[in-house]
C-alpha cells in the first residue's frame, strides 16, 4: 500500500464504475502473473520434482533469450526495472514538492523550489551501502502510512451523510479512462521483488497462498480507500487526495506524507543503483569496483531524479505514464511471455489461452496508456 494509493480516488474520477472493476481485475491479474513468474524459476528433474534453477527476474529473461543472445533478456529486464525504480524516485520528489507547497501556502515558493529542498534532505542517500539502513527507514515509513490512511478514512466517514452514488460517472472519456488504467496498474506492481521474496521465504511452498491473501487484502483496502474518498469529494477530487482535506487536517497529514515520501525514497533508489552498479562492475574491471565510483553512480542517479522532477511536475500524469510503460511490461507482458516460452510444452490449453490473453491485454493497455499519458503531458505544457 504505497504512497501512490493516494492517486486512486483521482483515477475513479475519470473511470467511474469501471474504475472499481479495474481495481479488482488488476489485483486478480497481478496475482496470476506473480504466480506464473515464480513458476518460471523452477524446472522438473528426472524424478518429476520441481527444482529452483533460477534466482532472479534477470535469470528468467536470459533463459528465454539464450538462443538470440545469452544476456539480451537480462539487459531488457534490467533497463525496465531501473526505469520503473527511478520513475518511482522521481514521483516521490514530485509529491514532496506538492505536499510542502500545500502545507505552507503562505511561503512564496513554487512546487519546484520545494522539491529542491526535499532533494537536499535526500543527499545522504548516496552513502547508503547496505539494505539494513533501508529496512529501518522502510519500517518507519510503514508506521507513518498507517497514520495517514487512518486520518483520511476517519474524516471521510464523518462526511458519510454527504455521500452520493450519483457522483460516479456512467459515461467516461476513453483517453481519461486509459490514464486511470495506468494509475491503477502502477499501484499493484510488485513483480520486481517477487523472485527474491519467494527465495527468502521460510517455506516457499506457501508462496501461492501468501500471494492470494496479500492481493485480496490489497484489493479490499484500495477499493475501500478509493471509494470512500471519492464519495466524499466527488468532482472536486484532486490528484493527491490529501489536498482535499480541511486545512487543520491537511497540514498534519501532508507533513506525515512528506515524511513517508522521504522515507520511501531510499528503497527504490538503492535498488536501482545496485542494479546499475552490478551491471557496470561485472567482470574484472577493478576501476569500476572502487567506493568512489559507486558514490559517483549514486550521486548521478540522485541528480537525475531531481532534474526529471523539475521537468515533469505532474503527479497523476507521470504515475499513469510509468504504469503504462514499465508497470505493464513487468507486471503483464514479460511474465506471460516468459511463462509461454519456458513452459509451452507442459501448459494445458486453457493456461496457454490465459497467458496469451494477459499478454494481449497488457500490450493494448500499455500502448493506449502511453499515447494518452504523453498527450496529457503535452496538453499540460501547452
CA distances to 66, 291, 326 from 61, rounded to whole Å, are 9, 30, 15
Residue 283 has pLDDT above 70, yes or no: no
- The number of helix segments (H) and strand segments (E) in the chain equals 16, 2
User: pLDDT per residue over 8-24, tens digit each?
Assistant: 888 888 888 888 888 99
Torsion of CA 195, 90, 242, 98, to 10 degrees: 170
| Cβ 121 vs Cβ 261: under 8 Å | no
Residue 98 and residue 302: Cα distance in Å, rounded?
19
**Radius of gyration of the chain from Cα atoms?**
21
Q: In terms of Cα–Cα distance, which of 120, 91, 133 is closest to 257?
A: 91
What cell does 309 get?
522532477
* pLDDT value for 14: 82
More confident residue, 139 or 27: 27
Q: How many of the other CB atoms lie within 10 Å of CB of 38? A: 23
Residue 140 and residue 12: Cα distance in Å, rounded?
29
Q: Please give the average per-residue pLDDT across 151-171, as a whole number.
A: 84
* pLDDT value for 84: 79
Q: In terms of Cα–Cα distance, which of 25, 14, 11 is closest to 362?
A: 25
What cell does 53 get?
534453477
Query: Could you tell me the domains of the chain?
Result: 2-49+83-381 (1.20.1740.10)
Query: Which pTM does this prediction carry?
Result: 0.80
Residue 48 has pLDDT above 60, yes or no: yes
Quote the mean pLDDT of the chain.
83
More confident residue, 232 or 323: 232
| Cβ 146 vs Cβ 5: under 8 Å | no
Residue 290 and residue 300: Cα distance in Å, rounded?
16
The SS3 assignment for 98 reads: helix
* pLDDT value for 2: 67
| Cβ 192 vs Cβ 327: under 8 Å | no
**Which pLDDT band, with edges at 50, 70 and 90, does 70 fall under?**
confident
* pLDDT value for 287: 54
The SS3 assignment for 44 reads: strand
The full length of the chain comes to: 382
Residue 97 and residue 304: Cα distance in Å, rounded?
16
Q: In terms of Cα–Cα distance, which of 87, 70, 80, 34 is closest to 321?
A: 87
* pLDDT value for 315: 60
User: pLDDT per residue over 83-127, tens digit each?
Assistant: 878 888 888 888 888 788 877 888 888 888 888 898 899 999 888
Residue 179 has pLDDT above 60, yes or no: yes
* pLDDT value for 297: 83
**Which pLDDT band, with edges at 50, 70 and 90, does 340 fall under?**
very high
Which residues does 313 contact at the CB level (< 8 Å), separation at least 6? 94, 97, 98, 111, 112, 115
* pLDDT value for 36: 96
Q: How many of the other CB atoms lie within 10 Å of CB of 293? A: 16
Q: In terms of Cα–Cα distance, which of 81, 54, 270 is closest to 189?
A: 81
10 Å CB burial of residue 290 (0-12, 13-18, 19+) is exposed
* pLDDT value for 133: 85
**Which pLDDT band, with edges at 50, 70 and 90, does 353 fall under?**
very high
* pLDDT value for 171: 65
Which residues does 359 contact at the CB level (< 8 Å), separation at least 6? 332, 333, 336, 337, 340
CA distances to 1, 31, 86, 211, 222 from 216, rounded to whole Å, are 12, 9, 28, 8, 10
Residue 169 has pLDDT above 90, yes or no: no
Residue 1 has pLDDT above 70, yes or no: no
Amino acid at each position: 500500500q504505497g504512497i501512490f494509493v493516494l492517486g486512486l480516488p483521482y483515477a475513479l474520477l475519470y473511470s467511474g464504475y469501471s474504475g472499481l472493476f479495474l481495481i479488482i481485475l488488476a489485483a486478480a491479474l497481478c496475482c496470476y502473473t506473480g504466480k506464473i513468474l515464480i513458476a518460471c524459476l523452477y524446472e522438473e528433474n528426472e524424478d518429476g520434482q520441481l527444482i529452483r534453477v533460477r534466482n532472479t527476474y534477470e535469470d528468467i529473461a536470459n533463459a528465454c533469450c539464450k538462443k538470440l543472445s545469452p544476456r539480451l533478456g537480462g539487459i531488457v529486464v534490467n533497463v525496465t526495472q531501473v526505469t520503473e525504480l527511478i520513475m518511482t524516485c522521481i514521483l516521490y520528489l514530485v509529491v514532496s514538492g506538492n505536499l510542502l507547497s500545500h502545507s505552507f501556502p503562505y511561503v512564496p515558493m513554487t512546487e519546484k523550489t520545494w522539491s529542491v529542498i526535499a532533494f537536499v534532505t535526500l543527499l545522504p542517500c548516496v552513502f547508503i551501502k547496505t539494505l539494513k539502513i533501508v529496512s529501518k527507514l522502510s519500517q518507519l515509513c510503514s508506521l507513518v502510512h498507517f497514520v495517514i490512511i487512518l486520518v483520511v478514512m476517519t474524516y471521510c466517514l464523518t462526511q458519510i451523510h454527504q455521500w452520493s452514488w450519483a457522483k460516479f460517472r456512467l459515461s467516461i472519456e476513453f483517453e481519461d479512462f486509459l490514464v486511470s488504467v495506468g494509475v491503477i496498474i502502477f499501484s499493484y506492481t510488485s513483480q520486481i521483488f517477487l523472485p527474491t521474496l519467494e527465495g527468502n521465504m521460510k517455506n516457499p511452498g506457501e508462496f501461492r497462498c501468501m500471494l492470494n491473501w496479500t492481493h485480496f487484502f490489497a484489493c479490499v483496502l484500495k477499493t475501500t480507500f478509493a471509494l470512500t474518498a471519492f464519495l466524499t469529494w466527488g468532482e472536486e477530487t484532486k490528484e493527491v487526495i490529501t489536498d482535499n482535506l480541511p486545512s487543520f487536517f491537511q497540514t498534519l497529514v501532508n507533513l506525515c506524507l512528506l515524511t513517508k515520501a522521504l522515507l520511501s525514497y531510499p528503497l527504490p533508489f538503492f535498488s536501482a543503483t545496485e542494479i546499475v552498479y552490478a551491471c557496470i562492475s561485472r567482470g574484472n574491471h577493478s576501476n569500476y569496483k572502487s567506493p568512489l565510483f559507486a558514490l559517483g553512480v549514486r550521486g548521478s542517479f540522485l541528480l537525475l531524479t531531481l532534474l526529471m522532477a523539475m521537468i515533469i511536475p505532474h503527479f497523476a500524469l507521470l504515475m499513469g505514464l510509468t504504469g503504462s510503460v514499465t508497470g505493464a511490461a513487468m507486471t503483464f507482458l514479460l511474465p506471460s511471455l516468459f511463462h509461454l516460452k519456458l513452459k509451452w510444452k507442459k501448459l494445458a490449453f486453457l493456461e496457454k489461452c490465459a497467458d496469451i490473453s494477459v499478454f494481449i491485454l497488457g500490450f493494448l493497455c500499455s500502448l493506449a496508456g502511453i499515447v494518452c499519458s504523453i498527450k496529457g503531458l503535452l496538453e499540460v505544457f501547452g
